[in-house]
Structure 1
């Protein structure tokens, strides 16, 4: 389950198979403490989510995998969005029965192959056209190349992305107004309303390119 509060790692190191434990050292996490000896869990045993992120049946000595779940994905996404909330997961055994204790290698295991590993597989959708690369700002030139999106800052009105606002940009927006997007993509012609556009090429987009041609920066200026 996802841990809900920060916790420490001190210098304690139990001997041999570690079943007898060792005296807590400064900053160790214990059953009572988040940081030994002065910071306590709000509930003894740890503060963690009431929702199970994943489960596995653990038997004899070997390697075990906790398969992906929607909650596990949500946990990782939450940590990505807010790294300060990443306190890891806590493994909870079958404590309703006796003799269920298990020992797992940690990140400090001598053999790297025994250390816990979080594997993330990211599936991306390749773009085909520039309109799939809209980043909701008219201040970048949106392009699709090799299946990947690129969003490059551009001068306001530079709808063809050549680094300058000139007659070719004016011709491009006029083509777009007529429904022709062969030269310039709709996503780059759609300059108004600033900063995200409205999905329509109209007289206001033509005026925006003319403003850019005159040196105006619209909402993209300093």
Structure 2
């Protein structure tokens, strides 16, 4: 009797290789979907910041408070929802990539690409970093919702490279993205959802290989 290698089952292939670049799994062109300058997509000129008050006309002496925590306006509040929008064509390979990167997500299909919904909303930046490293030079968008506020940022190659206007990102977003972000839908209830939680390394490698063969 021949001993099986540790950590493998008899039906596991020998030729499954984790790709270094998941661009072959993308839906359509590899051109970044998010422009470097989002201002060109606006209908009108950029909004001008409000004019500063004339400090010279003020007779009040500014006072620096001892406790600046009141000025943060909830900046340290943990997000209640965090998701990463990608250009990966299907949910399964995105869930597989997240499983290999040890990021717990529910991958949801959408018309703009698979969406990774973070199981732990506080791990949004770490999840976006790991996913964008897998996708190399292709951008992903991290959306986070805190009470009364949504933030958006573009990540490429493991780095946050730009802040984006949330309204612009969501202007043509599919309904499933808005429903997930606003809490109107749970990722587990979306048809076609694939979770990275509990996915073994070999299952992830097979999912990636199947995604490559399907292109």
Establish whether TM, by shorter chain, passes 0.5: no
Larger radius of gyration: 1
TM-score by length of 1: 0.20
Structure number with higher relative contact order (C-alpha < 8 Å, ≥ 6 residues apart):
2
The structure that is strand-richer by fraction is: 2
